[in-house]
A = this chain, B = another copy of it.
Amino acid sequence: MDILLISPCLRANNISSKKVIVSITMSKISETLSSNYEKLLALTKEVIVLQSASSIIYWDMETKMPPKGVNLRSQQLAALSKIIHRLSTKPEIGNYLSNIEKNPDYENMNQLQKRNVYLIRKYYDEQTKLPEKLVAETAKQEAITINVWKKAKAAKDFLLFKPELEKMLNLKRQAADILMEVKGTKTPYDALIDIFEPKMTADSISRVFAGLRDGLMVILQKCLDSANQPDSKALKRKIPLESQRRISNEIAKFIGYDVESPKAGGRIDETEHPFTTGYYDDVRITTHYYENDMASSLFSVLHEAGHAIYDQNLKQEWMYQPIGGHTSLGFHESQSRFIENIIGRSREFWTHFFPILNKLTNNSFADLTLDAFVRAINHVRPSKIRIEADEVTYCLHVIIRFEIEQDLIPGKISLMDLPQMWNQKYKKYLGVDIENDSEGVMQDTHWAGGMFGYFPTYALGNIISGQLLRTMENSISDWKEQLAGGEFINIKKWLVQNVHQRGDLYDPAVLIKKITGEGMNVKPYLEYLDAKFSWVYGY
Q: Which residues in A have some Cβ–Cβ distance to B below 8 Å?
A: 14, 46, 49-50, 52-53, 56-57, 60, 64-69, 71-73, 75-76, 79-80, 82-83, 259, 262-267, 279-282, 284, 320
Given contacts A83-B83, A279-B72, contact A284 B66 (CB under 8 A): yes
Are B69 and A282 interface neighbours, CB within 8 A? Answer: yes
How many angstroms from the CA of A105 to the CA of B262 in the assembled complex? 61
Are A68 and B263 interface neighbours, CB within 8 A? Answer: yes
Q: Is the interface of A mostly helix, strand, loop or mixed?
A: helix
Task: List 5 A-B pairs, Cβ < 8 Å.
Answer: A53-B79, A53-B80, A66-B259, A66-B282, A69-B265
Are A67 and B264 interface neighbours, CB within 8 A? Answer: yes
- When distances are taken between beta carbons in the complex, the residues of chain B under 8 Å from A82 are 46
Residue of B nearest to A269 (CB): B64
How many angstroms from the CA of A262 to the CA of B67 in the assembled complex? 6
State the oligomeric state as a number of copies.
2
Are A53 and B64 interface neighbours, CB within 8 A? Answer: no
How many angstroms from the CA of A117 to the CA of B488 in the assembled complex? 63
Residue of B nearest to A312 (CB): B68
CB distance from A308 to the nearest CB of B (A): 11
Given contacts A57-B56, A60-B56, A76-B56, contact A281 B50 (CB under 8 A): no
- When distances are taken between beta carbons in the complex, the residues of chain B under 8 Å from A279 are 72
The winner among A52, A68, A263 for most chain B CB atoms within 10 A is A68
Residue of B nearest to A87 (CB): B83
- When distances are taken between beta carbons in the complex, the residues of chain B under 8 Å from A71 are 281
How many angstroms from the CA of A281 to the CA of B69 in the assembled complex? 5
Are A79 and B66 interface neighbours, CB within 8 A? Answer: no
Are A281 and B64 interface neighbours, CB within 8 A? Answer: no
How many angstroms from the CA of A280 to the CA of B70 in the assembled complex? 11
How many angstroms from the CA of A50 to the CA of B68 in the assembled complex? 18
Are B68 and A281 interface neighbours, CB within 8 A? Answer: yes
How many angstroms from the CA of A284 to the CA of B264 in the assembled complex? 25
Partner of A66, one of B50, B57, B266: B266
How many angstroms from the CA of A368 to the CA of B71 in the assembled complex? 47
Residue of B nearest to A53 (CB): B76
Are A66 and B280 interface neighbours, CB within 8 A? Answer: no
Closest 4 CB pairs of A and B: A69-B282, A68-B265, A53-B76, A68-B281
Residue of B nearest to A262 (CB): B67
Are B79 and A49 interface neighbours, CB within 8 A? Answer: yes
Are A76 and B52 interface neighbours, CB within 8 A? Answer: yes
- When distances are taken between beta carbons in the complex, the residues of chain B under 8 Å from A266 are 66
- When distances are taken between beta carbons in the complex, the residues of chain B under 8 Å from A57 are 53, 56-57
Given contacts A66-B265, A68-B265, contact A50 B282 (CB under 8 A): no
How many angstroms from the CA of A280 to the CA of B66 in the assembled complex? 11
Partner of A49, one of B49, B69, B75, B267: B75
How many angstroms from the CA of A259 to the CA of B69 in the assembled complex? 12
Residue of B nearest to A63 (CB): B64
- When distances are taken between beta carbons in the complex, the residues of chain B under 8 Å from A262 are 67
CB distance from A72 to the nearest CB of B (A): 5
Are B46 and A79 interface neighbours, CB within 8 A? Answer: yes
Residue of B nearest to A267 (CB): B66
How many angstroms from the CA of A65 to the CA of B279 in the assembled complex? 12
- When distances are taken between beta carbons in the complex, the residues of chain B under 8 Å from A73 are 282
Given contacts A57-B57, A279-B72, A281-B68, contact A50 B263 (CB under 8 A): no
- When distances are taken between beta carbons in the complex, the residues of chain B under 8 Å from A66 are 259, 264-267, 281-282, 284
- When distances are taken between beta carbons in the complex, the residues of chain B under 8 Å from A320 are 75
How many angstroms from the CA of A73 to the CA of B265 in the assembled complex? 12
How many angstroms from the CA of A69 to the CA of B14 in the assembled complex? 15
Given A46-B82, A66-B259, A69-B265: 18 more A-B contacts, CB < 8 Å: A49-B72, A49-B79, A50-B76, A53-B76, A53-B79, A53-B80, A56-B56, A56-B57, A56-B60, A57-B57, A64-B267, A66-B282, A68-B263, A68-B264, A68-B265, A68-B282, A69-B281, A73-B282
How many angstroms from the CA of A57 to the CA of B61 in the assembled complex? 12
How many angstroms from the CA of A265 to the CA of B69 in the assembled complex? 6
How many angstroms from the CA of A9 to the CA of B482 in the assembled complex? 61
- When distances are taken between beta carbons in the complex, the residues of chain B under 8 Å from A79 are 46, 49-50, 53
Residue of B nearest to A320 (CB): B75
- When distances are taken between beta carbons in the complex, the residues of chain B under 8 Å from A72 are 49, 52, 279-282
The winner among A65, A76, A263, A264 for most chain B CB atoms within 10 A is A76
- When distances are taken between beta carbons in the complex, the residues of chain B under 8 Å from A14 are 75
- When distances are taken between beta carbons in the complex, the residues of chain B under 8 Å from A50 are 76, 79-80, 83
How many angstroms from the CA of A49 to the CA of B136 in the assembled complex? 15
Residue of B nearest to A76 (CB): B53
- When distances are taken between beta carbons in the complex, the residues of chain B under 8 Å from A76 are 49-50, 52-53, 56
How many angstroms from the CA of A265 to the CA of B73 in the assembled complex? 12
CB distance from A92 to the nearest CB of B (A): 14
CB distance from A268 to the nearest CB of B (A): 10
- When distances are taken between beta carbons in the complex, the residues of chain B under 8 Å from A80 are 50, 53
CB distance from A99 to the nearest CB of B (A): 24
